[in-house]
Amino acid sequence: MAAKKKYSYDIEAQDIDFRRRVSLASLTNFILITAGKNADENGFGLLELQSDCFTWVLSRLVIDMKRMPTESDSLTIETWIEHIGTAFTTRNFRILDGGDHLIGHAASSWAVMDMRTRRSVLLETLPAMRHFIVGESTPIGEPGRIPNVSGEVANSFLVKYSDIDVNNHANSLHYVEWLSDCFTPDFYRRHHIRRFEINFLKELTFGDSGEVFRQLKGQADYAFQIETHGKGTVCRARIVFEEV
């Protein structure tokens, strides 16, 4: 068991897009896998919680990259818990390439949900987790609140069987895909992702449908709001690009 640990990954064909760069959804997946592995090894992973009808849910995430990795890279992601509050815990990440060069940071906020009531519970239900607090921040800080967004409809979605995960709601990676799909391949030829932020507000379950609204806030700085037919706003996000 280790409070702070590194995990290494090979980049494979399914992880890259047409530019041969790691896609935002794949990078997010590597980060979430890292969080899951470390929690499992330290005794408070998803399967351990589910044995008591609890589960982890991602509340907020921010990823800030100096550059996006390519197919020729490998990835090492270091993770640790910065602090534990009443209902949320902050887990941080350092992202390195195959040459051990720092290429990015991420920070995430998590809650524990009771699978029977679908409501969050106090983190005092996991007292052992406090032994793994490192207390070290990153240069990007904690993931913040994204304000209300207005704008044009840039994508639509319908939650289907393959979108549902073990928590019986739409997996967070599908939100990332719906957001990423708000831009054309030509746009991605001219822009790289520099920063990504997302706030999850409500669950999406089978049969839910809605639209992704996009608003340009600044130069290559886009805000998003995912609206459903019935549940209202379920997610807000931000992607900041830099021109190639």
**What's residue 176's pLDDT?**
98
Helices (H), 5-106: 24-41, 46-50
For the stretch 112-134, pLDDT in tens is: 998 899 999 888 878 888 889 99
Same domain, 57 and 133: yes
For the stretch 21-50, pLDDT in tens is: 999 999 999 999 999 999 999 988 888 888
Same domain, 154 and 222: yes
Question: Does residue 1 have a pLDDT over 80?
Answer: no
Domain boundary among 111, 143, 175: 143
Same domain, 122 and 151: no
**What's residue 49's pLDDT?**
85
Strands (E), 127-220: 152-158, 191-200, 209-218
Q: What is the DSSP letter of 161?
A: G
Same domain, 16 and 116: yes
Same domain, 23 and 95: yes
Same domain, 67 and 163: no
Q: 23-26 contacts: CB < 8 A, separation 24 or more?
A: 23/180, 24/63, 24/176, 24/179, 24/180, 24/193, 24/196, 24/239, 25/173, 25/176, 25/177, 25/180
CA distance 24 to 38: 21
Q: What is the DSSP letter of 163?
A: G
For the stretch 211-235, pLDDT in tens is: 999 999 999 999 999 999 999 999 9
**What's residue 124's pLDDT?**
84
- Domain holding 16, by residue range, is 1-143
Question: Does residue 205 have a pLDDT over 80?
Answer: yes
For every residue of 41-57, DSSP letters joined together read: HTT--HHHHHTTTEEEE
**What's residue 117's pLDDT?**
94
Domain boundary among 143, 177, 198: 143
Question: Does residue 195 have a pLDDT over 90?
Answer: yes
**What's residue 96's pLDDT?**
97
Same domain, 193 and 243: yes
Domain count, the chain: 2
For the stretch 70-91, pLDDT in tens is: 998 999 999 999 999 999 999 9
> Helices 24-41 and 172-180 meet at what angle, rounded to 10?
160
Instruction: Give the domain CATH number at 189.
Output: 3.10.129.10
Same domain, 128 and 156: no
**What's residue 54's pLDDT?**
87
Domain boundary among 143, 166, 199: 143
